[in-house]
């Protein structure tokens, strides 16, 4: 730890990035490629903020690790999108269709991961507590 670490400001930054993810989560169900990509970047920034915490918060590790998996899935989805776009531009329709199909599969997997994190005792429970967020599904 370096000097008097301003824990509160780190907490606020995590809360800000988590809020951004929550605001953009709709992309997983209704978003186009750009929206999904923006959501992925928001998740990545949240993960980076969690990895930087000083001192490290072990109880936030499940959230960090889920975000890593989620970013990987969305990263693969982005690669498929880019390949499909390139294939479309270069008149390669079979490859474009395959890229699109694979992209949808990765986004579906990311959607499932994101949803499970919000269940009771899920990966985001501790994160929500740390960010001082509360939600009521009743």
82 sits near another protein (criterion: CB under 8 A):
yes
Q: Which of 113, 11, 4 is closest to 52 using CA atoms?
A: 11
| Site size toward another protein, by CB under 8 A | 25
40 sits near another protein (criterion: CB under 8 A):
no
77 sits near another protein (criterion: CB under 8 A):
no
Tokens coding 61: 């590790």
Q: Which of 120, 117, 129, 112 is closest to 59 using CA atoms?
A: 129
**CA angle (32 as vertex; 124, 78 as ends), nearest 5:** 75
Q: Which of 21, 14, 86 is closest to 50 using CA atoms?
A: 14
Binding part of the chain for another protein, among 18-26, 32-40, 78-86, 130-138 by CB under 8 A, reads 78-86
Which of 49, 60, 66, 128 touches another protein (CB under 8 A)? 49
Q: Which residues bind another protein (CB under 8 A)?
A: 2-6, 9, 13, 44-45, 48-49, 52, 54, 79-80, 82-83, 86-87, 90, 92-95, 98
């Amino acid at each position: 730890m370096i000097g008097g670490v301003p824990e509160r400001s780190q907490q606020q930054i995590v809360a800000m990035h988590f809020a951004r993810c929550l605001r953009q989560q709709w992309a997983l169900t209704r978003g186009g490629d750009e929206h999904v990509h923006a959501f992925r970047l928001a998740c990545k920034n949240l993960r980076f903020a969690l990895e930087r915490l000083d001192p490290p918060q072990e109880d936030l590790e499940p959230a960090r690790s889920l975000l890593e998996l989620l970013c990987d899935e969305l990263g693969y989805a982005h690669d498929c999108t880019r390949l499909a776009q390139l294939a479309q531009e270069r008149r390669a329709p079979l490859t474009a269709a395959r890229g699109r199909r694979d992209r949808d599969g990765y986004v579906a997997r990311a959607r499932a991961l994101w949803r499970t994190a919000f269940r009771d005792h899920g990966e985001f429970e501790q994160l929500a507590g740390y960010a001082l967020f509360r939600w009521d599904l009743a």
